[in-house]
Chain A
Amino acid sequence: MSKPPDFNRQTILMQSERGFKSEIIAAIPLTAKEKLFHIRICDPCERENFTFLPGQFIMIELPGCGEIPISISSSTSNKEFLALCIRNVGKVTGMLHRLKAGAIVGIRGPFGTHFPMEKMTGYNVLLMAGGLGIAPLRAPIYWANNHRSDYKDIIILYGAKEPEQILFGYQFEEWRTIYNLNILTIVQKADKRWPGRKGIITDLFGDIHIEPDNTFAIVCGPPVMFKFVCAHLSTLGLPRQRMFVSLERRMHCGMGKCCRCNVGSTFTCLDGPVFDYWTVMNLKEAI
């Protein structure tokens, strides 16, 4: 399933210092603050050789402006382009939002650990996302869809602040009907036009049945969500080593050198961003 890591020196240098020149082929507005970028590596050989696993991230660079870590939101089997869901919050993301199709950016990577999709074979998979947390979950969802027969029930719980902030809602119906995923959404604030549920993501636990002996969980969202969600799953009896979370930290290198993403005794870019919950408990101030 997953390829062994390539330790060819040239590849390492490519990944680590030299950026792949990549073209923005589409910049699709999703909400007021988020855009989905489709980015294609210019060189066909590099594009063909670029592989990643669900949950990994890349560093995207605008020369002269800056470089930021972004998780990959596209399918690992999509060889045409990488999809990156980017919120306009800072200097680099602000500039990215101004770029049009045709602009060339640099990408390095992929970096970091991934969700162990192969280990989940034969299990139910519970994916939980809060807000922008759906972005890194899109890769494992695509993976699960592509290997649908490998998994039993797949449930997605998605919580957002307002209905307008729900990301990728346009895909939910397709995922439900074609891939038989059970998707539940909940929002914190909504007016009467919202037909769905109101509340926080843990409220959705009442609507689903979880078999603790037979389930893997993937959680992505703000740190406060990890605490409540993982605590709840623990009380249900789900082993901590079968819960996976993706952490966010400041990053400058992606290679375990700059120490900016240091959490507890380790680095988010090397040993993360995907950690199992047992490791997270062991890392000081991880969440």
Chain B
Amino acid sequence: MKYLGITLERPKIGVFGFTGCEGCQLQIANKEETLKNLFNSIEVVNFREISSDGCDDYDVAFVEGSITTESEVTRLQKIRNQAKILVAIGACACLGGVNNLKSRFPLSDVVKEVYGMHPVDTGPVRRLQDVVSVDIDLPGCPISKSEFEWLVRNLVLGIKPQFPQYPVCVECKQQLNSCVFDMGMMCLGPVTRGGCNAICPRNRFGCWGCRGHSEEANFESLMRILRERGFEDEHISERINFFNAFNGIL
């Protein structure tokens, strides 16, 4: 492959999963119509979902899931040492995600509730960046395939990808959606990073903040708006803590 005379290298990639639902990994293997082109531009050397073969000679590691056990820490550190670029994919890896629910209760209660008579050694939920240095966060729950492909194109070209800094509202208005607030629903769109084409509000479902907060989001103003509209703090708290994207605003 060449771009304006520059020879482009096919990066060798590995895809790895930690604590999570594997939905983000599945997204990468999804969408047959572009899969052929995708594999033309990258060389997959380690990806359990598409091949049982695997080697550790990769340049870019896409890592899904949050970190909850010590063995995961060791495995992640090994990946970090190998990869030139480490990309956290999905809300679990970037934010802690839904798994973070666990951190709201005493650990012993959680272990007892989930594992009963067969307890396992599990710790609090951590984001990848709490354990190793992360080069790129690819947000979303799950990640979007088109955004993943966009990221791959940037990596092949050697460009640092720039994610939208603006909130979901921009793209929501561009879809000509009715504002879900007008329909009485709560929405975190005004403080959540855009780039998802407002897929939830488009389907009349308020935003839950899976992509993390937008740059310099105005939380005070949003809290004022939510309370003025009669949402209870308990309800608000449940929403903003869901993906662990807005720590400490309520």
The reply to whether chain A is a binding partner of chain B is yes
Q: Mark A residues whose CB is within 8 Å of B.
A: 62, 64-65, 91, 94-95, 98-100, 102-105
Contact B5 A95 (CB under 8 A): no
Residue numbers in A under 8 Å from B160 (CB-CB): 91
Over the window 177-217 of chain B, the binary record of Cβ atoms lying under 8 Å from chain A Cβ atoms (1 yes, 0 no) is 00000000000000000000000000000000000000000
Contact B4 A104 (CB under 8 A): yes
Q: Which of A94, A102, A103 contacts B159 (CB 8 A)?
A: A94
Chain A CB within 10 Å — which of B4, B159, B162 has the most? B4
Q: How far is the CA of A99 from the CA of B8 in the complex (A)?
A: 12
Residue numbers in A under 8 Å from B162 (CB-CB): 91
Q: Which of A64, A91, A94, A99 contacts B5 (CB 8 A)?
A: A99
Q: How far is the CA of A5 from the CA of B73 in the complex (A)?
A: 66
Asked whether any CB of chain A lies closer than 8 Å to the CB of B39, the reply is: no
4 additional A-B pairs beyond A95-B157, A98-B158, beta carbons within 8 Å, are: A91-B160, A95-B158, A95-B159, A104-B4
Q: How far is the CA of A102 from the CA of B3 in the complex (A)?
A: 12
Over the window 1-27 of chain B, the binary record of Cβ atoms lying under 8 Å from chain A Cβ atoms (1 yes, 0 no) is 001111000000000000000000000
Contact B4 A62 (CB under 8 A): yes
Q: How far is the CA of A196 from the CA of B11 in the complex (A)?
A: 49
Within 8 A of A (CB), among B154-170: 157-160, 162
Residue numbers in A under 8 Å from B4 (CB-CB): 62, 99, 103-105
Q: How far is the CA of A64 from the CA of B162 in the complex (A)?
A: 15
Q: How far is the CA of A104 from the CA of B159 in the complex (A)?
A: 19
Would you give the shortest CB distance from B164 to chain A, in whole angstroms? 15
Residue numbers in B under 8 Å from A64 (CB-CB): 3, 157
Q: Which of A65, A100, A103 contacts B157 (CB 8 A)?
A: A65
Contact B159 A65 (CB under 8 A): yes
Q: How far is the CA of A277 from the CA of B162 in the complex (A)?
A: 36
Give B161's nearest chain A residue, CB to CB: A91
Contact A99 B6 (CB under 8 A): yes
Determine chain B's interface SS by DSSP, over half rule.
loop
Give B162's nearest chain A residue, CB to CB: A91
How many B residues face the partner with a CB closer than 8 A? Answer: 9
Q: How far is the CA of A144 from the CA of B162 in the complex (A)?
A: 42
A-B contact count (CB 8 A): 25
Within 8 A of A (CB), among B124-178: 157-160, 162
22 contacts between A and B (CB under 8 A): A62-B4, A64-B3, A64-B157, A65-B157, A65-B159, A91-B159, A91-B160, A91-B162, A94-B159, A95-B157, A95-B158, A95-B159, A98-B158, A99-B4, A99-B5, A99-B6, A100-B5, A100-B6, A102-B5, A103-B5, A103-B6, A104-B4
Give B3's nearest chain A residue, CB to CB: A64
Residue numbers in A under 8 Å from B6 (CB-CB): 98-100, 103
Q: How far is the CA of A102 from the CA of B6 in the complex (A)?
A: 11
Q: How far is the CA of A65 from the CA of B159 in the complex (A)?
A: 9
Q: How far is the CA of A98 from the CA of B4 in the complex (A)?
A: 10
Residue numbers in B under 8 Å from A99 (CB-CB): 4-6
Give me the 4 closest cross-chain CB pairs, A-B, nearest first.
Answer: A103-B4, A103-B5, A91-B159, A98-B6
Q: How far is the CA of A95 from the CA of B159 in the complex (A)?
A: 8
Residue numbers in A under 8 Å from B157 (CB-CB): 64-65, 95
Would you give the shortest CB distance from A82 to chain B, in whole angstroms? 18
Q: How far is the CA of A65 from the CA of B158 in the complex (A)?
A: 11
Q: How far is the CA of A105 from the CA of B5 in the complex (A)?
A: 11
Q: How far is the CA of A65 from the CA of B162 in the complex (A)?
A: 12
Q: How far is the CA of A99 from the CA of B157 in the complex (A)?
A: 12
Residue numbers in B under 8 Å from A91 (CB-CB): 159-160, 162
Q: How far is the CA of A257 from the CA of B105 in the complex (A)?
A: 54
Residue numbers in A under 8 Å from B158 (CB-CB): 95, 98
Would you give the shortest CB distance from B238 to chain A, in whole angstroms? 39
Would you give the shortest CB distance from A216 to chain B, in whole angstroms? 41
Residue numbers in B under 8 Å from A103 (CB-CB): 4-6
Q: How far is the CA of A97 from the CA of B101 in the complex (A)?
A: 47
Residue numbers in B under 8 Å from A100 (CB-CB): 5-6
Give B154's nearest chain A residue, CB to CB: A91
Give A66's nearest chain B residue, CB to CB: B159
Q: How far is the CA of A243 from the CA of B39 in the complex (A)?
A: 58
Q: How far is the CA of A99 from the CA of B2 in the complex (A)?
A: 11
Q: How far is the CA of A135 from the CA of B158 in the complex (A)?
A: 27
